[in-house]
Structure 1
């Protein structure tokens, strides 16, 4: 993007953000995880980073929030780095479902009962079981260290209040996990797998952290800030493809048409997005639409994409 466009974004982003903030009234904060219900509905923040160290931010970009489903992108990558494609995709599929992220319907209907993709809950639980480590604690520590490296922030940690909230109320995820265990997809004890899953969903970040993680994906696994190769290019390609086809739950097709960039949302209101070869973007807006995506965050990303012709399509 030209310097002129960068300057235009820096000038206009605060105004665009406040316009999008009006959309927060059209959604609701997630309440099925009690700790998430404490978020302020009118929160909206964005942070954009480029390869030269230039950053542009607006709104409530410094507010901490948990990654929730955004973490699934990076646990998938770590599982691929641990075991390779064949082993991972023996246990989880590659297709969108068209169903809610926590649905069990397709598991019962499709042989051999493996999850359709790694970004729905059943798929992410399966991927969590594939992370290398001798214990749930070892696996969680490896995940946390990997996330810290990608974010360039050694201070990333779990929000234990959110973790315990998920642990205590995650009965639907337990149902999914026990179904997977019954089908032979999960080999480890269900509670051990769920501990790893709930913990990586509970890693706390801000928009700047998300933008840095997204920037690594935007540059095919290389951290452009220091030139270090953190992820094999092939696994970034896989992750970005899943982000386009499945990353915004069962509104992924609509998002691809309206925004057209790889993105992954979480029910805390976070969105990680990227413009390949250009930007990493972190957004937070806890007010969610019926599909579980940030109402204001999606609106803001659509505005940015259309103004600067970001769509891949």
Structure 2
């Protein structure tokens, strides 16, 4: 392991915590505003099955946009690349994750990539299932396999809070419906999507997911090929190019690992063939990324030469 003890890792958490006062907890989803701005925790799970952790790693949080990587993997398994990428693109964007502007200016009118909200809505629409309940159950079962934890589910309070306030996402859905990118009933899609974003876990669970991607789709604890190798590669590539919203380029330079963030303060990190990393720090910068979480990953990546570049 890069850090031999939890105490060694804790020193980086203590240093990075100094950044929390410079950010703000997300409040546009009202239930997220309850988070403690000063929280910061991290778990690093190796492909050999070892784990080091620091901070209150048992604190649970919702995945929010981190879930976009996982729904993408499931949909690629359901339909294959051609079907999926006929409906959502592969290009990064400099716009905020919730921007609707490019849908009007890009031809054909499909989302630029699966990591922005419009693209994630299109992806969630593609999850196989006869109704919203079955689609959500399939996604949660898949995530339970990734975490090797059959207790993972969604937070009803956050899901309801998000469902009641997702007017911009609904607008995107109707635009995508007009252009035949999505076909489901919009409210049914929003029901699945808001519950997907509200899937809840802790840093160790998140680090285990990262270790599956690090090991090219094989779970280090069970030995099961949970994700086909080519799909794991595709997801890691999207994490590099689009995973940290419109700060993905800067993150690639400063940290240099595939990663996906969420406005809950979660960050999923992947060090190929070595580690999965789970971070939770709800104080966000202006782009919606965990301000202390990013700094923590900078410190760790710099100290242990984790950049893939």
TM-score (norm 1): 0.97
Q: Quote the residue 1:185 is aligned against.
A: 181
- Name the residue aligned to 2:29: 33
Deviations 1:205-234 (A, max 9, x none): 100110011100000000122211111111
Report what 1:60 is aligned to.
56
- SS where residue 107 of structure 2 aligns? coil
Q: CA deviation at 1:122?
A: 0.3
Q: Which residue of 2 aligns with 1:104?
A: 100
* RMSD of aligned Cα (Å): 0.9
State the 1:112 CA deviation. 1.2
For these two proteins, the number of residue pairs brought into alignment is: 309
* Structure 1 position 196, deviation (Å): 1.1
For 2:119 and 2:259, locate their aligned partners in 1 and report how far apart those are by CA, in whole Å.
18
Cross-structure match for 2:303: 307
Question: SS in structure 1 opposite 2:277?
Answer: strand
Instruction: Measure, in 2, the Cα distance between the counterparts of 1:259 and 1:82.
Output: 32
Aligned to 1:80: 76
Q: Distance in 1 between matches of 2:233 and 2:308?
A: 14
Measure, in 2, the Cα distance between the counterparts of 1:203 and 1:53.
Answer: 24
In the alignment, is residue 167 of structure 1 matched against residue 173 of structure 2?
A: no
Distance 1:111 1:195 in 2: 28
Gap regions ≥5 residues in structure 2 = none
- Of residues 299-308 and 190-199 in structure 1, the stretch that sits farther from structure 2 once superposed is 190-199
Q: Take 2:8 and 2:145, find their aligned partners in 1: how far apart are those partners?
A: 32
List, as ranges, runs of 4+ consecutive aligned residues in structure 1 with deviation greater than 2 Å.
Answer: 9-12
SS in 2 for 1:293: coil
| Structure-to-structure mapping, 1:65-214, within 5 angstroms | 65-214=61-210
SS of 2:164's equivalent?
helix
Counterpart-to-counterpart distance in 1, 2:112 and 2:138: 26
1:237 aligns with 2:233: yes
Q: Please state how far the C-alpha of 1:194 moved relative to its aligned partner.
A: 1.2
CA drift at 1:180: 0.5
Q: State how far apart, in whole Å, the 2-side matches of 1:139 and 1:236 are.
A: 21
Deviations 1:93-117 (A, max 9, x none): 0000110000001000011110000
Match of 1:249 in 2: 245
| Corresponding residue SS for 1:185 | coil
| 1:255-266 alignment, distance < 5 Å | 255-266=251-262
